[in-house]
Structure 1
Amino acid sequence: MLSIESVRNALYKSWSLESSSKWTRENPAKGQCGVTALVVNDLFGGEILKTKCIGGWHFYNKLNGSCYDFTKEQFPKAIEYDDIPSSREEAFSDTNLHQYNALRQKVYHELSFLNEHLL
């Protein structure tokens, strides 16, 4: 069964310059919010939410009534979440098809690798 923790680990291993031009080794979550929210939405469904941050909108997920922000580490301070309903289209405005496909492919590969070794 797919868990939040296994997806979180797969995301951390999969973020790269391919999934965000803002990625750095020191801050791998930087610029990954839109693309990450989309891939998490692919895996779990749920809602995509947004909140205003320095530099624009920040995207994250709501799953089974709980909010999950897999990229909050990119910010130096805690975020005040507004939980504004968003959409895949808006989250896509924060990324592009190449970045989305790169992250999605890497995450799915990590998850299949994990599943193969759990059986």
Structure 2
Amino acid sequence: MRNMKFKVNEIMDALSKSWSLESSSKWSENNPAKGQCGVTTLVVNDLLGGEICKTKLPDGWHFYNIINGNRYDFTASQFTDDIIYMDLSSDRGEAYEDTNGNQYNHLKQNMLINLNTYH
């Protein structure tokens, strides 16, 4: 799957269509990215590779992706304050602690369905 090329706007659009209560118990219509950072980071890593990084925020760790040297935080919209990124190295295991198998599988399957409309 990693060799498929997706544009950032395609990933963001597919994520916004894929996030739900099934991918994070913190999801809401008003804040669909809420609580989605770990699961989103894992699915984006599956699709595009790259590195998983984290930043410490008042409520805990926030996960995001570094792909080809560029930072992609697809769930930054859940926060009202600006994020000061630390770009601390993390891994799939640590990001997975922020989610569970059901949430991960749900988001990944929905992402594959929604991305299929682009290719």
- The answer, yes or no, to whether TM exceeds 0.5 is yes
Counterpart mapping for 1:31-42 below 5 A = 31-42=35-46
Q: TM-score of the superposition, structure 2-length normalised?
A: 0.94
Task: Return the TM-score normalized by structure 1.
Answer: 0.94
Q: Which has the higher helix share?
A: 1
Asked whether 1:67 is paired with 2:71, we answer yes
| Root-mean-square deviation over aligned CA pairs | 0.7
- 1:52 aligns to 2:56 (yes or no): yes
The aligned counterpart of 2:23 is 19
- Confirm or deny that 1:110 pairs with 2:114: yes
The amino acid of 1:66's aligned partner reads: N
Report whether the alignment pairs 1:86 with 2:90.
Answer: yes
Letter in 2 for 1:54: P
How far the C-alpha of 1:113 sits from its partner, in A, is: 2.2
* CA positional deviation for 1:54: 1.8
Distance 1:2 1:66 in 2: 15
Give aligned pairs, total: 115
1:33 offset after TM fit, Å? Answer: 0.1
Q: Which whole-Å deviations, capped at 9, do the CAs of 1:73-105 have from their partners, x for residues lacking one?
A: 101111000000000000000000000000000
- Aligned residue for 1:114, secondary structure, equals coil
Q: Any runs of at least 4 consecutive aligned residues in structure 1 with deviations exceeding 3 A, and if so which?
A: none
Counting aligned pairs with the same residue, the percent is 57
